[in-house]
Chains A and B, each alone.
Chain A
C-alpha cells in the first residue's frame, strides 16, 4: 500500500513539524535567558545564539546578600502557603465533598467566583486588612495574601477529587471500624496523593513567582521575595542596566521549579485528570 504509507509519513512529518514550532515557541525564551546569563559584559548586546559559558554573572549574583536573602524568603513564603493551604483545603474538601449540609453548592460557587477576581482588584482591600492585622512589611503578609488565591483553587480541585472517590470505599472503612479522622488519614490522603502534589505544586509556583503583592506589601530589602528582588537589581551607575545578572538570577530562580515539576510530573498529570476520569 504505497499510498497509505506515504500518507502516513506526511502525517508524521506534519506532527513533528508542529511539535518543533511549539517547542521553539515555548522554550526559546528560556534558552535566551540561560544563554544571556552566561555572557559577560557587553557581549550580551550582540545577537549570538551560542552562549559564551562565562560564569561572571553567577558569581556576582550569588555573592549578593540581598538576593540570597530573598531566595530564602521566597522559599519560606511558598512552603508556608503550600502547607497551610493544603491543610485547610483537605479538611474543607472533606466537609464539602463528603458531608451533606445546606448551602454546600453556594459555598462552592463562591469559592470559584472569588478565585476569578483579578489580583489588582483585591490590592487595596487586602492592603487595609494586612495593615489592620499588623502584617505590613512581613513575610506573613505575603502568606496571607497568597492564600487568598491558592486556597479557593485548592479547595475546588480537592473537593472535586474527593467527590470522585468511591463512596463505598469510605463505607467499607466505616464498617472496618475507622473513625472519620482515620478515614481521612489512612484512606483518603493516600488516595489523594496525586491531587495533593499537583495542587501543592501549583500553589508553590504561584507564590514563588508572584510580583504585585510582593512589591506592595514589603517595604524593606531584608523581607523581599525573589521576583521583586530581581526587579530591583540595579547596576553601579544609572546608565548601566545589569541584564546579565538579572538573567543569571532568573535562571537560578527557575531551576528549582523545573526540577520540582520534573520530579513530580507523573503525579501532576494523574492528579489533574483524576477528577474527570473515573479510575
Chain B
C-alpha cells in the first residue's frame, strides 16, 4: 500500500492545457475513481501517475517521495489498460509472468505467483492459451492477473470494463471490488460510467476540462453536489433542472418558478438560479413545492417506472416512481418535491447552501 499525492499537477500538450492544476491526496488502501465525460483528462492524469506521460509542472508523490523523474517501472505501480494490452504471441502463463521474468525472479517463484493469481481469478485452466483464444471477459481477467502477480502497492485501471457487455461488466465490477477488499492495494480507477464510480469508489473525483469539479464519497456527491456539472453527471436518470429566480423576503427566501412564488428556508443569495431535483425525489401529486404538468410518457421498468412530464414552458422532467403508476399519457397531474431534496445553483452553476447550513 502506498499513499499518493498530486500537488498542483499540470499537463500541457504544446499550447493545449489538458490537466489544469489538480490537487489530490489519496491515502493508503483507498479506492479512488476518476470520472468525467470523454476528453476531460482522466486517462492523461492516470498516465501521469503511471509515468507514461511527463508532468509539465507540479509534483507527484508516492509514499511521500517525489516521483516526477522516476521511470514507470520504478514507481511500484501495476496498470490495467482499456484494451487489455496482452502480449498476443505469449500464452496466458507467460503473459502473467512476463514482468517477473523481466525482473529476473527465480523460475520457481514466478510459477508460484502465477499459479496463485490464476487460481484467484479462476483462469488457471487457461494458462496454455493465447490471448486470441480467450473471450473478452477472460482477457480482462488475464490483464488484471498480470497486474496482481507483481504484488505492487498501487493499482491503476483505465476504463477496464468499457469493452465488455453489460452482464460481464457487472460480474467484473464485483470481481474488482473483491480484489480490492482482499489485496487492500491503493487503487486509482478511471471510468466515464458514473454507475461504476458509485459502486466501486471509496472516493470519487469528478473531472471537468482538466480540473477537479468535486471530490468526495459517492454519497456526498449524490447528496450534496458542489455544482451543476457534478449534479447532472452523478445519478441516473439525470437530475432535472428548472430555471427560476430567488429573492429575499425577511427571514425567508422566495423562489419564483414559471411566475409562481414558492416560500423557502432562507438562502444567502438573490438572483437567477437553477433548481435541481433528482427523479427519485419528485413526488406525483404531492410535495412542499408543486407544479402542474402533462404526462408525456410512462416507461415501466418492472419494479419501478419513469414518468416523463411536460411542465410549463415546454420543459420536460423525469419522475421515478415505485411500482406501476396509475397514470396515462395525456393526463394532467401535479408534481412536487420537499425543500430538503432540492438543490439550488447560482448563475455560475455553483451549489447554494442554506443560511446557517
CB <8 Å contact, A187 and B87: yes
For A169, A172, A191, the residue with the greatest tally of chain B CB atoms inside 10 Å of its CB is A172
CB <8 Å contact, A175 and B78: yes
List residues of chain A with CB within 8 A of the CB of B79.
Answer: 171-172, 175
List residues of chain A with CB within 8 A of the CB of B99.
Answer: 175-177
CB <8 Å contact, B102 and A176: yes
Q: With A175-B72, A187-B87, A190-B89 given, is the CB distance from A168 to B98 under 8 Å?
A: no
- Check B338 for interface membership: any CB of A closer than 8 A: no
Q: How far is the CA of A174 from the CA of B85 in the complex (A)?
A: 12
- Check B52 for interface membership: any CB of A closer than 8 A: yes
CB <8 Å contact, A174 and B73: yes
CB <8 Å contact, B73 and A191: no
8 Å CB interface, A175-201 against B? 175-178, 182, 186-187, 190-191, 193
- Check A103 for interface membership: any CB of B closer than 8 A: no
Q: With A176-B73, A190-B89, A191-B88 given, is the CB distance from A171 to B102 under 8 Å?
A: no
Which one of A166, A169, A178, A191 contacts B102 once the chains associate, using CB atoms below 8 Å?
A178
CB <8 Å contact, B77 and A175: yes
CB <8 Å contact, B81 and A168: yes
Q: How far is the CA of A168 from the CA of B83 in the complex (A)?
A: 7
Q: How far is the CA of A178 from the CA of B104 in the complex (A)?
A: 11
CB <8 Å contact, A182 and B102: yes
8 Å CB interface, A158-173 against B? 166, 168-169, 171-173
Closest residue of chain B to A178, judged by CB?
B102
8 Å CB interface, B86-115 against A? 86-89, 98-99, 102-103
Question: In angstroms, how far is the closest chain A Cβ from the Cβ of B117?
Answer: 14
Q: How far is the CA of A36 from the CA of B99 in the complex (A)?
A: 60
For A171, A174, A175, A182, the residue with the greatest tally of chain B CB atoms inside 10 Å of its CB is A175
Interface residues on B, range: 20 to 34
Q: Mark B204-226, 1 if CB is under 8 A from A, else 0.
A: 00000000000000000000000
Size of the chain A interface, CB-CB below 8 angstroms: 17
CB <8 Å contact, A171 and B87: no
List residues of chain A with CB within 8 A of the CB of B52.
Answer: 171, 174-175
- Check B82 for interface membership: any CB of A closer than 8 A: yes
List residues of chain A with CB within 8 A of the CB of B89.
Answer: 190-191, 193
- Check B50 for interface membership: any CB of A closer than 8 A: yes
List residues of chain B with CB within 8 A of the CB of A176.
Answer: 73, 98-99, 102, 146, 150
CB <8 Å contact, B85 and A166: yes
8 Å CB interface, A11-61 against B? none
List residues of chain A with CB within 8 A of the CB of B82.
Answer: 168
Q: With A168-B82, A171-B81, A172-B81 given, is the CB distance from A177 to B103 under 8 Å?
A: yes
Closest residue of chain B to A191, judged by CB?
B89
Q: How far is the CA of A173 from the CA of B86 in the complex (A)?
A: 9
CB <8 Å contact, A169 and B85: yes
Closest residue of chain A to B78, judged by CB?
A175
Closest residue of chain A to B99, judged by CB?
A176
CB <8 Å contact, B73 and A175: yes
Question: In angstroms, how far is the closest chain A Cβ from the Cβ of B48?
Answer: 13
Q: How far is the CA of A166 from the CA of B83 in the complex (A)?
A: 9
Closest residue of chain A to B47, judged by CB?
A171
List residues of chain B with CB within 8 A of the CB of A190.
Answer: 89
8 Å CB interface, B61-86 against A? 72-73, 77-79, 81-83, 85-86
CB <8 Å contact, B85 and A177: no
Closest residue of chain A to B104, judged by CB?
A177
Question: In angstroms, how far is the closest chain A Cβ from the Cβ of B152?
Answer: 10
List residues of chain B with CB within 8 A of the CB of A193.
Answer: 89
Question: In angstroms, how far is the closest chain B Cβ from the Cβ of A53?
Answer: 47
List residues of chain B with CB within 8 A of the CB of A169.
Answer: 85-88
Q: How far is the CA of A168 from the CA of B99 in the complex (A)?
A: 15
Closest residue of chain A to B102, judged by CB?
A177
Question: In angstroms, how far is the closest chain B Cβ from the Cβ of A14?
Answer: 37
Which one of A174, A182, A186 contacts B72 once the chains associate, using CB atoms below 8 Å?
A174
Question: In angstroms, how far is the closest chain B Cβ from the Cβ of A191?
Answer: 6
Q: How far is the CA of A173 from the CA of B101 in the complex (A)?
A: 12
Q: With A182-B102, A190-B89, A191-B89 given, is the CB distance from A175 to B83 under 8 Å?
A: no
Which one of A177, A186, A187 contacts B73 once the chains associate, using CB atoms below 8 Å?
A177
CB <8 Å contact, B85 and A168: yes
Q: How far is the CA of A187 from the CA of B99 in the complex (A)?
A: 12
Closest residue of chain A to B81, judged by CB?
A168
List residues of chain A with CB within 8 A of the CB of B98.
Answer: 173, 176, 186
CB <8 Å contact, A175 and B102: no
Q: How far is the CA of A193 from the CA of B103 in the complex (A)?
A: 25
Question: In angstroms, how far is the closest chain A Cβ from the Cβ of B8?
Answer: 25
CB <8 Å contact, A175 and B87: no
8 Å CB interface, A186-225 against B? 186-187, 190-191, 193
Q: How far is the CA of A175 from the CA of B79 in the complex (A)?
A: 7
Closest residue of chain B to A193, judged by CB?
B89
List residues of chain A with CB within 8 A of the CB of B81.
Answer: 168, 171-172
Closest residue of chain A to B143, judged by CB?
A172
Closest residue of chain B to A175, judged by CB?
B79
List residues of chain B with CB within 8 A of the CB of A175.
Answer: 50, 52, 72-73, 77-79, 99
Closest 4 CB pairs of A and B: A176-B99, A177-B73, A168-B85, A172-B85
A-B contacts, 9 listed (Cβ < 8 Å): A166-B85, A169-B86, A171-B52, A174-B52, A175-B50, A175-B99, A176-B102, A191-B88, A193-B89
Taking A171-B85, A175-B73 as known contacts, 7 extra A-B pairs with beta carbons closer than 8 A to each other, sorted by chain A number, are A168-B82, A169-B86, A169-B88, A172-B85, A172-B146, A176-B98, A176-B150
List the interface of chain A (C-beta within 8 A of B): 166, 168-169, 171-178, 182, 186-187, 190-191, 193
